[in-house]
Each structure stands twice: as C-alpha cells, then as structure tokens.
Structure 1
Amino acid sequence: MSPRRSAAEARSTRERIIRRSVDVASLEGLEGLTIGRLAEDLGLSKSGLLGHFGSKEVLQLATLERASVIFNNEVWAPAADARPGLDRLHAVCAAWISYLERGVFPGGCLFVSSTFEYDGRGGPVRALLRRQFAVWRRRLAADVRTAVRRGELPAGSDPEQLVFELSGVMMSLNHALQLHGDSAAVVRARRAVHRLLDAACRPDGRPPSA
C-alpha cells in the first residue's frame, strides 16, 4: 500500500469516527463516547480506533470541534450575508430555530446537552465549551450593538442581556422538542424572538430607523 493511499484511508477512518461520535454524543452525551461502543458501531478494533485519537478526551474535543462546524454551517452561514444588525439577528434566530426543529443532531443540540454534562467540571472539554459559547455570544452581541447604533433597537439595550434571553429561548425550545416532543414550542420560540428583537418597532412594524 502506498503512503498516499494509507494516509487517505486513515483520514477517511478518522472522519467516520468523528461523524459517528457526533451522533452518539448528541444522544448519550460526551461521556457516552466509549472506545468499545464506537469500535463496535464502526467495525473497528479498539486499538485501531484509539490509535486515531490517543485518548477518550482527545476524541471528545474533536467531536465538539466538528459539532461547532456543523452548528456554524446550519445557523451562522445562512445568515452571514444578511445586513448586520437587526436583520442578521432575525436571520440567525430563524436559522437557529430551524436547526433545532429539524433535529440536525439526532439527540438535539449537542452543545446544550454537553453544557449540562460539564458545567460543574474542570478540564479541557469544559474549557473548549466555554470558548465556543463565548465566540457565539460575541457574534450575537456585536449585531445587537450594531442594531442599537442604527436605531433598530432602543439606545439603552444591553447586548449581554438580550443575548442571554435569546439563548434562553433556544435552550427552552431544545428542551421542549427533545423531552416533550412539543412541536408547538417552535411557534412559541418564534414569538419570543420577535418580541425580544422588535421591542423598538413602530406601530407599522418597521424599526424606528426605517
């Protein structure tokens, strides 16, 4: 076997492992990523699977990194070209709700479940989760500030407070969909988002700067 083919096969196997790890973690948590379980699922030896990552923790970190790529592709990318400010906040929230409604991860948002697993722990996995959430909050807060500058939101709007409330809506939606199977929660989430983002709208429904 040529070195090039061997490297390509190793990349392909690593990709299969990560894809399966994302699905398993969304259903059973990051702690559910056992080497034995994944090896059986993928028809690999335990030693062969472990050779791609070296430890369970490294596999968990790789899983979170891949989940972040998926989340950004599903939630940020569809809204990235929207006008910065209120328009993009609406577009991001619409994509965020759609991502949860469609069950992109089979067990619901992997980041919500991982937060519950690791919020009271230390270590690299928790540290990565904190960084990922911080990046997402900064993106949303930047658009809130832009919306305030443009007069699309009230001058006294607190970006951190608004991001906190929007995140709460999405976590509640994930909970309602995954635990209760409550599809009506999607409508409630949309109403909540519009109530939060359109607080400064005029009676005709347009922002005051329109």
Structure 2
Amino acid sequence: MNTSASTRRSSSRTLHKGQQTRAAILEAALGLASHMGLEGLSIGALAEVTGMSKSGVFAHFGSREELQISVIREYHTKFEEEVFFPAIREKRGLPRVTALFENWVKRVSVEIDSGCIYISGAVEFDDRPGPVRDALASMVKAWQSALAKAILQAIDTGDLQPDTDPEQLLFELHGLILALHHDARFLRNPGAVERARRAFARTIRDYAEPAPTAPVVRAFTRPTP
C-alpha cells in the first residue's frame, strides 16, 4: 500500500470537507447579516444557527472581525454573479448600462425582506474606521468603478452625449437605488420598483438627447413705407 498517496487523499478529503463547512458557515452568516446587520454577527450567534461549537466556528475565521469581512466578500461575490456578470454579456453602450441598472433593481427587489449589506453596512460603519469599513468601502467602490466604466463606454459609442459627466450620472443612478431601497423596504411602497425604472429611463434620456437650443429671437423691424 502506498502510504504517501493514501495520506494525500486523506488530506485532500479533509481540506474539501473543511471548505464545504466554511462555505456553509458563510451562507448562514450572510443570512444573519442580511437581517441583523454586520454588527449582529457574532461567533456565538453563528454557532447557535449552524449547530456547531463556538470553537468550531472560530477555527474557520479566527475573529469576529474576520467573519464580518468574509461575509462582505461573500456578499460581493453573489452581487457580481447576479448583477455584473450577466450584464457584461450585453452590447457595450446603453444596453450594458441598462442591464447593470435593471439587474441592480432586481437585486434590491429580492432584498426587500432581508436587506442590502452595502446599504446597511454603510449606516453601521460610516463613521467607524477600521478593516471592516475598509473592506465594505472597497467592495462598493469596485462596483461603482464597473458602472462608471460602462457609462464611459456608452459615451464612446455615442449612446450618451460626449459632454456627459460619468461621475454625475453614476451619482444619480446610485441615488435612484437608495431611494428604491428606502421606499420598497422601509415604506413598503408597492410602486417603488416601477418608479425607479421610470426615473432611470428619464435620466438616461436627458443624457442621451442633445441639449435643447434656445430659440433665436429676431428684432422686429418695421418695413419702410
């Protein structure tokens, strides 16, 4: 019997099982954070939810802070899978910008009963410097950079006016999502999603159409008799 090969297979199975356990813990942690916020996460609460010991959970993350950061990264991965990657298959220009926004709206729609970690995390950590805030800000900036790049491409393709300020348009689209989240989750307004879509269409139309030119006013000249 090849003892070395057997040991390698055993180590591989142990590693694979460890990865599966960590993934299961992360999934449970993401669910907790979505409902209770990142500050609601603790090794003890997660151990209770997963049916594991505190030491078992601790072994996979080492600290509450590392657990929070891991949840932020996991949320970002799922956000990319649902919002970003499907959209980049669309044609560059307005089709891609529209797909990014529409996927974002759909993501918010399914988070009405849970919550967006980007938004709730910003409230929790906006004035609390540290690794958790840095990780959260980094993920949000990465998403904003991707959307800004799509806007720049829409300018290059001629879908948007050449004098379009990409940072301003990004700001306005982000504002629509924040308003949607507020009205859909907090106020439970059933028309919030459609309002966000109409606002997006109007905003894009403003940037896509040439600015109206002022009518030429000619001085009236009395005809010479």
TM-score of the two chains, using structure 2 as the length reference: 0.84
What is the aligned partner in structure 2 of residue 60 from structure 1? Answer: 68
Distance 1:65 1:144 in 2: 25
Distance 1:123 1:181 in 2: 33
CA contact (8 A) 2:161 2:209 kept: no
Q: 2:61 aligns to what SS in structure 1?
A: coil
Residue 171 (structure 1) shift: 1.3
- The RMSD of aligned alpha carbons is 1.8
What is the aligned partner in structure 2 of residue 142 from structure 1? Answer: 149
Matches within 5 A, 1:35-184: 35-103=43-111, 106-184=113-191
Gaps of 5+ in 1: 204-210
Distance 1:25 1:10 in 2: 22
Please point out which of 173, 185, 190 is paired with 2:192: 185
Please point out which of 12, 15, 20 is paired with 2:20: 12
TM-score of the two chains, using structure 1 as the length reference: 0.90
1:196 and 2:203 are equivalent in the alignment: yes
Distance 1:57 1:7 in 2: 23
Distance 1:135 1:29 in 2: 21
CA contact (8 A) 1:35 1:46 kept: yes
Distance 1:56 1:194 in 2: 42
What is the aligned partner in structure 2 of residue 206 from structure 1? Answer: none
Sequence identity of aligned pairs in percent?
Answer: 38
Q: Which has the higher contact order (CA 8 A, sep 6+)?
A: 1
CA contact (8 A) 2:37 2:121 kept: yes
Residue 102 (structure 1) shift: 2.2
CA contact (8 A) 1:153 1:199 kept: no
Gaps of 5+ in 2: 1-6, 211-225
Distance 1:151 1:8 in 2: 49
Residue 200 (structure 1) shift: 4.3
